[in-house]
Chains A and B, each alone.
Chain A
Amino acid sequence: MSEPLLKVRDLTVSYLIKGERGRAADNVSFDLHAGERLGIVGESGSGKSTLALALMRLHKPPARIEAGSAVLDGTDLLTLEGEALRRFRWSQISMIPQGAMNSLNPVMRIGVLMADPIRAHEKGWSGDRIRARVAETLESVGLNRSVADLYPHELSGGMKQRVCIALAIILKPKLIVADEPTSALDVVVQRKVIETLKDVQKQIGAGLIMIGHDMGLMAQSVDRLAVMYAGRLVENAPIRRFFRDPLHPYSQLLISSLPSPDEVREMKGIPGAQPSLFKLPSGCAFHPRCPAVQPRCKVEEPLSRSITAERDVACHLVSPETADV
């Protein structure tokens, strides 16, 4: 297989609050190939947003990258500094932040908003060339080019979210990180926005990391799914495999707790609650909620390991021998 676009290895991001340390990302490793879409799901407080921000180097204290590397096309994102980092962001790796559609500058026309990053990165471009790129990008996200003359308040939620997508792809980055890109949208608009996002990502051939909590949405959006629990990636698998045969007990419970719109089933939640990152249980962080818990799980932390060539699981009960793959 070809060299991955993004190689994240042992990324550890921790929060230090009042002398206590909590790891929002604990030795996270994964690969992303060009053109591939990776979903990262987790409950609130699992560290998924921190992970996204750390990849963009937009994490704020008290969060701190402790260790690890994230190599995008030969460049380690985690060692870039100053001007190099500024140039790299947006042109190589861009982000659709959570709630972005509500933070568009209300006094700037969309066209001006979108021209900004071009001006900052491409000094030599003429006004006409910039305008052409803005119009072309707007059309690629399914908006009319005349939207460039409007102000954010003149747009609906779905249109605003598309402007945010257009902003993220305007410099044709190699990697897009989208944090809950549809969280405030109704289902009908949500679907349209996701389809647009998939579309433009294919067009520019970028890799996409989509952070979210809605498993249904993930099933419709991504090629691979990584599940995060208490700062750790517990499973990372191709999307079909994942839903057909989830291996980690947490993945299994997540899937079985999903309500279906098509049939009435007995609803099963997961007992207990996700632990605080500052007070993790010993051993496997999931063991107090795990239905298949073994004595070993309480003392020894399971490491993520390859079950097949394209599937990683962090669970003592799953090994290449036991997995039916």
Chain B
Amino acid sequence: MSDALLDLDAISVSYPSRKWKAPPFLALDRFSLRIEADRPRIIAIVGESGSGKTTLARVVLGMLPPTGGRMNYAGRSITQMSKPQRASFRREVQAIFQDPFAIFNPFYPVDHLLEMPLRIFGIAKSRAEERDMIETALERVGLRPEQVLGRHPHQLSGGQRQRIVVARSLMLRPRLIVADEPVSMIDASLRANVLSQIQALRDDLGVSIIYITHDIATARQVSDEVFVLNQGKTVESGTAEAVISNPQHPYTRLLVGSVPRPDPDHGWSDLSGQLEDQP
């Protein structure tokens, strides 16, 4: 067996309950996932709100310590990294967020987001090299540098902003990207562009991607493997085709069957009896 880039072994995250004497709330329940170092994959984590998918993203990014289980990155436990190891973890594991507006500091032109990591990680040797790297990265994601540099975030479209975020990740030569609902706030006509950029990261740069989403259709389009989360637990996992085209678990079936197809003749499948609201 080859080395794992990321190895999550029975990761749990629990919060103390707010109610008196109630058991703690399990946001993530013994979640396991292994990404091989030499085989870049796109892994979709599919779930509804409250399924624990965003908690998982925060754990992988090192922003939230798990309360149970083991998490190794490149063979080292995340909780016991030395300073330089931690710095390289921070550089190699990057994030793409849902709201491509909120991650821009409104005070600065968008350049700030691109310059910041280059300076902190000491990647560019000079201002000229920095400029060069930024422009190359922007061109890679299909943006003309002169169209976006020097502008403020509110002057750009959602698709442009999200592609700048992809460009930012790209410059850092990451090995793993956690993309939390990267296209849910982008207009339909621009989604495909951002998603193909994400696929290109895997294919051209060998980056593995954890794609966190509620959208089964895009998960089917871009991912290799799918994990379906419900209330903190993995209910089904496997190749995207197997899980989505031939779901076994009743919850997955319910989820896949509830996606509205853009075809008036292919109505919602009959799932009567499974659709009761939980207050």
Contact = CB atoms under 8 A, between A and B. Distances in A.
Given A240-B264, A240-B265, A243-B264, A154 B279 contact: yes
B80 interface: no
Interface stretch (B19-27, B59-67, B125-133, B184-192): B184-192
B188 A187 contact: no
A55 B95 CA distance: 42
A186 B159 CA distance: 23
A215 B187 CA distance: 11
Residue with the greatest number of chain B CB neighbours at <10 A, chosen from A155, A158, A187, A255:
A187
A107 interface: no
A216 B260 contact: yes
A255 B192 CA distance: 12
Interface stretch (B114-122, B173-181, B251-259): B251-259
Nearest to A215: B262
Given A261-B244, A264-B221, A219 B193 contact: no
A259 B221 contact: yes
B189 A261 contact: no
B49 interface: yes
A192 interface: yes
Indicate the size class of the contact surface on chain B: 35 or more
Interface stretch (A58-66, A88-96, A266-274): A266-274
Interface string A244-288: 000000000111011111111101111001100000000000000
A258 B189 CA distance: 8
Interface residues of A, number: 46
A269 B157 CA distance: 15
A190 interface: yes
Given A220-B260, A267-B195, A269-B189, A191 B220 contact: no
Given A219-B261, A219-B262, A261-B256, A192 B277 contact: yes
B216 interface: yes
A188 B255 CA distance: 6
Contact of B277 (A189, A263, A267): A189
A214 interface: yes
Nearest to A259: B217
A156 interface: yes
A265 B221 contact: yes
Contacts of A270: 189-190
Contact of B188 (A158, A188, A191, A215): A215
Contacts, number: 130
Given A219-B260, A240-B264, A261-B220, A267 B279 contact: no
B54 interface: no
B192 A220 contact: no
Contact of B214 (A187, A219, A269): A187
B38 interface: no
Given A219-B260, A261-B244, A191 B192 contact: no
B49 A186 contact: yes
B160 interface: yes
Contact of B189 (A187, A188, A253): A253
A254 to B, nearest CB: 6
Nearest to A253: B189
Nearest to B259: A261
A31 interface: no
Interface string B258-279: 1111111101100000010111
B220 A216 contact: no
A180 interface: no
B191 A191 contact: no
Nearest to B261: A216
A187 B255 CA distance: 7
A213 B188 contact: yes
Residue with the greatest number of chain A CB neighbours at <10 A, chosen from B214, B218, B258, B260:
B260
A200 interface: no
Interface string B58-89: 00000000000000000000000000000000
Contact of B217 (A155, A258, A269): A258
19 contacts: A187-B214, A188-B275, A189-B277, A191-B268, A195-B268, A213-B187, A214-B188, A215-B188, A219-B261, A220-B261, A220-B268, A257-B189, A259-B191, A261-B216, A261-B261, A264-B221, A267-B196, A269-B192, A273-B159
Kindly list the 9 A-B residue pairs having the minimum CB-CB distance in the complex, ordered from nearest: A269-B192, A270-B189, A267-B192, A216-B260, A186-B48, A43-B187, A269-B193, A259-B217, A261-B217
